[in-house]
Amino acid sequence: NWEKNIRKTVPYVPGEQPRGEHIIKLNTNENPYPPAPGVEKALKEISAKRLRLYPDPACSVLVEAIAQTYGVGTDQVFTGVGSDDVLAMCFMTFFNDTKPVLFPDITYSFYEVWADMLRIPYEKIPLDEQFSIRREDYRRANGGIIFPNPNAPTGVELPLADIEDILRNNPDVIVIVDEAYVDFGAESALKLLNRFENLIVVQTFSKSRSMAGMRIGYAIASPVLIKYLNDVKYSFNSYTMNETSLAAGRAALLDQAYFKEVLAKIIATRERTKKKLKEMGFSFPDSRSNFVFARHETCPAEKLFEGLKEAGIYVRYFNSPRISEYLRITIGTDSEMDEFFAVLKPLVQRLK
């Protein structure tokens, strides 16, 4: 009868990760382009002999490259195995078990799962009619605040002035801005770091740097917050990145020209995709990310999701209140989006 004595977790339901030749994967916001060419070279140069040793717990090679890229001190950077791990570490470090953390109702569902797992109370704050975060709702937090910017799965950006307002009104709690998608056209809160010691910005290599498979995430904040994070991290050994990730991550950061070129391509494809979706009767909040969160005026999202999947095209469908009429479509290459529309058009005609 041991079951009554164990913790029960309501699991986070991740997007499918199908493998296969004829699949177009527009369901988990990966980048359709390969990482910078230097990444492949860095991977080849790693000697297996090196793997005998534990990796550098301070992840110095990568921390230095991140600090240099963003013009901050190395004491302002914290790294982890994907931004999920960095976020988990932030929850452990900065939120407590008595005062609720605030986050939007309709957001990255991982926050709720982690809060539950760590027994952190939370309050989910509904978005407005346009799926935007209302800054007034975040003026009296006493346990902490976290939100993605742009938000997921909506893609909506919270303007920097609103983030500043939230920070100004909350000097006594930690505010985490999860910028997984910020490089696709939103404004980063990194600019506010000098003025707010309680701000943490979390970013990832999984989206804009095409390295979801490598698992690299990082936080940038004031040195005092990074020290708190490290105190928790060094109590474990599982959150240190391996040698391969450190070298590959550094190589990706060295090629900013390639990074910008990929971003420009994805943003151009996103705008083209929005136009086509609109012509076909879809509506969507304005996305500043590498996905579009779209709803058709008459066709049920679940049916569209299933029809696309039958043709080997994976998008994301969330069977949850208020968003069950929407599909989240990751922006792929131009030719992937052409194939997507070639399947979507007759499907919409059929279901209309």
Can you give the binding site for ligand PMP, defined by CB under 6 A?
Answer: 82-84, 108, 148, 152, 178, 180, 204, 206, 212, 217
How is residue 13 written in tokens?
Answer: 């339901």
Q: What is the DSSP string of 36-97?
A: PHHHHHHHHT--GGGGGSPP-TT-HHHHHHHHHHHT--GGGEEEESHHHHHHHHHHHHH--S
What is the C-alpha to C-alpha distance for residues 236 and 233, in angstroms, rounded to an integer?
6
Give min distance, CB of 259 to ligand PMP, in A.
Answer: 16
DSSP E strands, the chain = 24-25, 77-80, 101-105, 122-126, 145-148, 175-178, 199-204, 217-221, 282-283, 291-296, 313-314, 316-317, 326-330
How is residue 153 written in tokens?
Answer: 């799965």
How is residue 247 written in tokens?
Answer: 């070298």
**Which C-beta is closer to ligand PMP: that of 150 or that of 307?**
150
How is residue 44 written in tokens?
Answer: 């080849």
70 within 8 A of 44, measured Cβ to Cβ: no
Give min distance, CB of 82 to ligand PMP, in A.
Answer: 3
Give min distance, CB of 162 to ligand PMP, in A.
Answer: 18
Length of the chain: 352
Host H or E run for residue 305 = helix 301-310
176 within 8 A of 208, measured Cβ to Cβ: no
Give min distance, CB of 215 to ligand PMP, in A.
Answer: 7
- Return the residue nearest ligand PMP (CB atom): 82
**Which C-beta is closer to ligand PMP: that of 296 or that of 316?**
316
Question: Dihedral sign, CA of 327, 288, 137, 102?
Answer: positive
CA nearest to 330, candidates 248, 269, 279, 257: 269
Give min distance, CB of 53 to ligand PMP, in A.
Answer: 26
Give min distance, CB of 150 to ligand PMP, in A.
Answer: 9
CA nearest to 141, candidates 114, 118, 123, 129: 123
**Which C-beta is closer to ligand PMP: that of 190 or that of 344?**
190
**Which C-beta is closer to ligand PMP: that of 210 or that of 344?**
210
**Which C-beta is closer to ligand PMP: that of 198 or that of 206?**
206
Give min distance, CB of 199 to ligand PMP, in A.
Answer: 17
CA-derived radius of gyration, the chain: 21
Give min distance, CB of 98 to ligand PMP, in A.
Answer: 26
